[in-house]
Amino acid sequence: MKNTIFKYGLYSLICGFLFFGLPFLLGMGVNFDYGELIGYASMILSLLFVYFGIKHYRDKVNNGKVSLGKAIAIGMLISLFSAVGVALFDYIYTTQINPDFATEYMDYSIKKMEATLSPEELIIKKAELTQQMEEYGGSGFMAFLMFITVILIGFVISLISGLILQRK
């Protein structure tokens, strides 16, 4: 089981790091409108190794059997690798590649709000956003949020994979 988790976890980590960072590594920069979509797509692509890892364990290691609990455990351990890859790139990006990311995102959000909110609402929302960014806009916290997000998506994928692949 350890070999399966390590092998597919390493694939997941590398894919999470590369897919999450691909737009930046290719010089595409930040497009906030599509950045979230690209981010979630990269998380899900890197978590496909959860399914393949569980399937490999069932078919090649455990004589064609895997319980739902074991499948979820394997999937979650593989998800940890992916979460580390995504969080690591996020941390590197927000500390080394674009240390002004939080400010740029806040400015983008405020401009978007200006188009839809009244002046009174804008003042309130701008103050709330500024406070949130001061409290939670640090690189470490943002990387931690990415880590938790991947873990949660990984649990869902592990559960679905386990239900599809379980055999007793």
* Rounded average pLDDT over 135-156: 91
Predicted local distance difference test score (pLDDT) of residue 8 = 97
Cα-to-chain-centroid distance, residue 143: 9
pLDDT > 70: percent of the chain: 96
Measured CA to CA in angstroms, residue 113 lies from 22, 33, 37 at distances of 29, 14, 20
Written as six digits, the tokens of 111 are: 């401009």
Report which of residues 168 and 115 the model is more confident about.
Answer: 115
The tens digit of pLDDT for each residue in 78-133 reads 999 999 999 999 899 889 988 888 888 888 888 888 888 888 888 888 888 888 88
Q: How many CA atoms lie within 13 A of 69 on its CB side?
A: 1
Q: Rounded to two decimals, what is the model's pTM?
A: 0.85
